[in-house]
Chains A and B, each alone.
Chain A
Amino acid sequence: MTTISVDRVSRWFGNVVAVNDVTMTIGPGVTGLLGPNGAGKSTLLHMMGGFLAPSTGTVTLDGAPTWRNEDIYHHIGLVPEREAMYDFLTGREFVVANAELFGLPNAGFAAQTAIDTVQMEYAADRRIATYSKGMRQRVKMASALVHNPSVLLLDEPFNGMDPRQRMHLMDLLRKMGAEGRTVLFSSHILEEVEQLAHHIEVMVAGRHAASGDYRQIRRLMVDRPHRYTVRSDDNRALASALIADESTAGIELDLRDGVLHIQAIDFVRFTRRLPHVARERGIRLYEVSPTDESLESVFTYLVGA
């Protein structure tokens, strides 16, 4: 049982605030750290991993500070995002070296177990320089698992993996979580997080935007007002028909661009009703596009919620 506590932590680089007054507790099981690029996920992970000092606040691992404390690495396995990893070694040599650096008495055996766990035996004796991104990711994973840590920190672990490798890593992380390890991974892709983690922490623009069960957060994301841009052969008639339906809250007739800007409050109903309404009135739809589906806007909405 190992718990990471982040207590009122801020971190700034010069004038830029990367992490802003964040408090969270990460316990056993799989937790997803979700947020758009530049939200401060990596900065937070670096502070948890002891590679960055918080500007204010404390980051502790079972009560012990992570900054300038080498002892935490007995308990932490780290999977960094960056690729570089002693390319001149073979995968096996790399994992064995990591096992030795952890001071394990039987480094060869521990390395073999870790290599088997990530299913890299078939390429273990090839030089890392020849590995694909997914293979590198798995060897990094093996090097982080080799000392059987109670905490696993992974920075964007699914980047560059193909679907099969992704599924395999997800299975592995699920298993680690089920064994009672504290597994925290960062991602900017909602689908990745919801497939793997029940518990998610959402970061937006350095702030801690949401925390909890992903289903609830997902619902918040789905239920928010959606904006659409619609172009048809009779915008005015379509507007009057749609505003009568309870799925919309506002419609703007944009004469200059010849489009409708629609704010839908019941996303599911709106997407079903729109084609029906158009057909009933004999209106031809040329374009229906959501205008704020970027992840950033979803997150920004969450911050306000």
Chain B
Amino acid sequence: MNRTIARLTMRGLLSPRRLMLLSLIPLVLLAVAGLLRGLAEGLEIDTATTILSSLAIGTVLPLIALICGTGAIATEIDDGSVVYLLAKPIGRPTIVLTKYLVALFGTILLAVVPTAIAAFILAGADKGIVLGFTASALVGALGYSALFLLLGVVTRHAVVVGLLYVLIWESLVGGAVPGAQALSIQQWSLSIGEKIAADGLIASAVSLPVGASLLTAVALFGLYFAVQRLRSLTLAGEQ
């Protein structure tokens, strides 16, 4: 990890104005949680977990991770300022790892923490729901951040590709085709929560060993390929 790169990335990614705009996404989650809690006196636990699965883990988390993961590197590659990082005697793994940690920090701040708060508002402290969803969000952040960071290095259309993955594959296809769920970061993340929370409260399409190993694999491969790709990055637009 390189402190200067972390500082530069952080200032680019989470400037006060951006932070304010990005906060709107978790604020919606918290508002929905608060409203449901206030309106429905005896809120069904099932309703709470459904909201948390689909809105917190299924929407807010990947969206924030996408913005932070691609924003941590794709913007610099796009406008060419990444040259000031690359023209330095710094190992490419250090650059990628630092960017990853910053993206992760942003995702934890704007998605994982709000998920924990929303879970607490909706379900209270018992039955391991808060812990379950927080853990799911955290491991999900680890996977998504690596994947979206890689997308940022690989393609100039990282945001579009990332959105397609989240909206089409995970939400649409994953919702309709059971097999597709086995290949979804969302489901892998929920497999951790399923294990932590009381029986049957959090549902995942995959078992914990499968989810955990696939998630680890995606995170590691994502970072590895991002390093490889950055090593051979040809700065576009030079002609």
Binding site for B on A (CB under 8 A): 13, 18, 38, 42-43, 46, 49-53, 68, 70-71, 73-74, 76, 78, 80-82, 84-86, 88-89, 97-98, 100-103, 143
Contacts and interface: CB of A to CB of B under 8 A. Distances in A.
Contact of A38 (B90, B234, B239): B239
Interface in B124-160: none
A177 to B, nearest CB: 21
Contacts of A73: 87-89
Contacts, number: 81
Given A42-B239, A84-B81, A88-B15, A49 B87 contact: yes
Contacts of B15: 88
Interface residues of B, number: 30
A51 B89 CA distance: 13
A89 B233 CA distance: 25
B238 A42 contact: yes
Given A97-B7, A101-B4, A80 B83 contact: yes
Contacts of B7: 97
A136 to B, nearest CB: 12
B80 A43 contact: no
A98 B80 contact: no
**Residue of A43, A50, A52 with highest tally of chain B CB at under 10 A:** A52
Nearest to B15: A88
Given A68-B232, A80-B80, A82-B80, A102 B89 contact: yes
Contacts of B87: 49-51, 73, 76, 78
Interface in B85-106: 85-92
B229 interface: no
Given A51-B235, A88-B11, A103 B89 contact: yes
B235 A86 contact: no
